[in-house]
């Protein structure tokens, strides 16, 4: 029996280099190793917690699906599906929620973060007691939706319903995985069974990647507005890289790098050859570096990675038949295992039919 790999990305917009190096390229590598039962999906139900616009939801699903396929995920080798095509997930979500505490959900970092956004609270300085009061006290026009609170239950169900062993995700998803393990243990202990296994993140032995943004701080992220998208054309991409924040340049040999410069080097390490990285590191260390040259090379090397993917995305997006075939096959396979799990859980929980 092959070990089971499962991961997903929310359908909230186009994918950027952070998603590509933090998640998607790992998916492709795991698929290509050929030793795993690989499953990758598009989390459209999770997207509804923050992006409920019916006019764009389907297009978002379509663009992620095209980006999966264009990056090398192959429906013949992996199970590729859309979350909402597997209704068993929604039923198990209801059942598992009976064993999840609202307190533990309210303490989840991603919930507090997104709840702040839904309430329009900008700073993180606001202490958490205030946020709890705001959440409970709000009228129904300014509310934090319950789907957001139970986001970790739904993610745990995605994973547990497929009995996944490995869940390749970025570092920011660790807390959700920890909750998934806790819910699995709790279910097993409440019912005295050894039914669910405890999944773990997967990074090919290395540390999880964090792709930085071009604005000199933090990570590349959709809501940060600092992204290079796989779909950016050459002109847009060059412009973004040439505008990246830098500093005044090293004044003394071997000085430590400032955050924005470190970020440029982190990106260079991802897309360029070791020789080029060494060339610019040496130039930085002997103070001869010209950031303009570094950015030109960086832009070109990013283009070398993204341009062929971009071309394939555009092709695939126009091939509705291929898209439909891929996810129909995936839904069938994903549902087969999901319905077996759901049936087992119903039995374990004492839900029995009369017929
Ligand atoms: P975003 O932060 O842009 O909204 P998501 O939260 O939808 O992206 O992330 C989807 C996947 O991509 C997750 O596995 C996440 O860990 C990974 N990811 C997102 N941004 C980065 C980044 N800057 N570096 C590494 N991985 C990332
Ligand atoms: N929460 C994940 C993210 O924001 C997406 C996700 C939903 C997921 N369900 C999952 C990832 C199951 C891995 C496994 O990126």
CA–centroid distance, 175 to ligand 1, in Å, is 14
**Annotation says 222 is catalytic:** yes
The CA distance from 263 to 206, in Å, is 19
Q: Please identify, by atom number, the ligand 1 atom nearest to the C-alpha of residue 7.
A: 14
Residues 166, 230, 60, 146: is their CA dihedral positive or negative? positive
Over range 121-136, report the average pLDDT. 73
The CA distance from 297 to 344, in Å, is 55
Domain boundaries, the chain: 4-100+150-209+320-349, 234-315
Answer for the pair 299, 241: CB distance below 8 angstroms, yes or no.
Answer: yes
Over range 145-153, report the average pLDDT. 97
Three-state DSSP at 242 gives helix
Q: Worst-scoring range by mean pLDDT, 122-126, 240-244, 340-344?
A: 122-126
What pLDDT does residue 206 have?
A: 85
Three-state DSSP at 98 gives coil
CA–centroid distance, 98 to ligand 1, in Å, is 29
For the cut 90, the answer to whether the pLDDT of residue 119 exceeds it is no
**Annotation says 296 is catalytic:** no
Mutate to test the pocket of ligand 2, among 10, 68, 203, 219 (most ligand atoms within 8 A of CB): 10
Q: Which residue has the higher pLDDT, 344 or 207?
A: 344
Three-state DSSP at 38 gives strand
Give the number of whichever ligand sits closest to the CA of residue 18: 1
Residue 211 Cβ inside 6 Å of ligand 1? The answer reads yes
CA–centroid distance, 56 to ligand 2, in Å, is 20
What pLDDT does residue 277 have?
A: 98
For the cut 60, the answer to whether the pLDDT of residue 59 exceeds it is yes
For the cut 80, the answer to whether the pLDDT of residue 130 exceeds it is no
pLDDT band at residue 217 using 50, 70 and 90 as cut-offs: confident
The residue behind tokens 């095509």 is 85
The CA distance from 282 to 112, in Å, is 43
For the cut 60, the answer to whether the pLDDT of residue 126 exceeds it is no
Q: Which CATH number fits domain 234-315: 3.30.360.10, 3.90.1640.10, 1.10.490.20, 1.10.240.10?
A: 1.10.240.10
As its CATH architecture, domain 4-100+150-209+320-349 has 3-Layer(aba) Sandwich (3.40)
Residue 172 Cβ inside 6 Å of ligand 1? The answer reads yes
pLDDT above 70 coverage of the chain, percent = 98
Q: Please identify, by atom number, the ligand 1 atom nearest to the C-alpha of residue 19.
A: 12
CA–centroid distance, 82 to ligand 1, in Å, is 18
What pLDDT does residue 36 have?
A: 98
Give 112's contacts (C-beta < 8 A, 6+ positions apart).
Answer: 106, 128, 131
- Helix, strand, coil fractions of the chain, as percent rounded to 5: 60, 5, 35
Over range 251-277, report the average pLDDT. 97
Burial class from Cβ neighbours inside 10 Å (0-12, 13-18, 19+) for residue 266 reads middle
What pLDDT does residue 33 have?
A: 97
User: Which spans in 44-126 are helix H?
Assistant: 44-47, 54-71, 88-97, 102-106, 109-119
Q: What is the CA radius of gyration of the chain?
A: 22
According to DSSP, the β-strands at 79-82 and 3-10 are unpaired
- End-to-end, the C-alpha distance of the chain in Å comes to 33
For the cut 80, the answer to whether the pLDDT of residue 195 exceeds it is yes
Residues 179, 30, 322, 336: is their CA dihedral positive or negative? negative
Closest by CA position to 107, among listed 47, 176, 158: 176
Q: Please identify, by atom number, the ligand 1 atom nearest to the C-alpha of residue 219.
A: 23
Residue 263 Cβ inside 6 Å of ligand 2? The answer reads no
**Annotation says 77 is catalytic:** no
Tokens standing for 102? 């609202």
Q: Where are the beta strands (DSSP E) in the chain?
A: 3-10, 36-43, 79-82
* Average pLDDT over the chain, rounded to an integer: 95
Over range 124-128, report the average pLDDT. 63
Over range 294-318, report the average pLDDT. 98
């Amino acid at each position: 029996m092959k070990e089971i790999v499962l991961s997903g990305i929310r359908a909230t917009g186009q994918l950027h280099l952070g998603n590509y190096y933090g998640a998607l390229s790992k998916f492709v590598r795991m698929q290509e190793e050929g030793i795993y039962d690989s499953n990758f999906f598009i989390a459209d139900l999770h997207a509804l917690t923050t992006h409920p616009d019916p006019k764009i939801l389907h297009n978002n699903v379509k663009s992620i699906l095209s980006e999966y396929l264009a990056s090398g995920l192959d429906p013949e080798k992996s199970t590729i599906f859309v979350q909402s095509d597997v209704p068993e997930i929604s039923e198990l979500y209801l059942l598992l929620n009976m064993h999840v505490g609202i307190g533990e959900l309210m303490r989840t970092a991603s919930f507090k973060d997104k709840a702040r956004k839904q309430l329009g609270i900008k700073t993180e300085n606001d202490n958490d007691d205030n946020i709890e009061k705001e959440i409970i006290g709000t009228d129904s026009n300014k509310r934090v939706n319950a789907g957001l609170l139970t986001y970790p239950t739904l993610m745990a169900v995605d994973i547990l319903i497929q009995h996944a062993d490995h869940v390749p995700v970025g570092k920011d998803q660790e807390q959700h995985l920890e909750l998934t393990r806790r819910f699995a243990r709790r279910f097993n202990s409440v019912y005295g069974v050894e039914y669910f296994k405890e999944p773990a993140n997967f990074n090919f032995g290395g540390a999880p990647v964090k792709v930085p943004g071009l604005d000199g701080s933090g990570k590349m992220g959709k809501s940060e507005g600092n992204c290079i998208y796989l779909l950016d054309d050459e002109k847009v991409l060059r412009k973004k890289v040439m505008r990246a924040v830098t500093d005044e340049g090293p004044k003394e040999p071997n000085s430590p790098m400032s955050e924005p410069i470190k970020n440029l080097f982190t990106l260079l390490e991802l897309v360029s050859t070791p020789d080029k990285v060494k060339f610019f590191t040496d130039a930085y260390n002997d103070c001869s570096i010209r950031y303009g040259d570094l950015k030109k090379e960086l832009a070109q090397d990013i283009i070398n990675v993204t341009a062929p993917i971009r071309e394939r995305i555009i092709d695939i997006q126009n091939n509705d038949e291929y898209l439909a075939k891929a996810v129909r096959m995936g839904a069938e396979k994903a549902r087969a295992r999901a319905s077996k799990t759901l049936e087992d859980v119903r039995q374990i929980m004492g839900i029995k039919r009369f017929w």
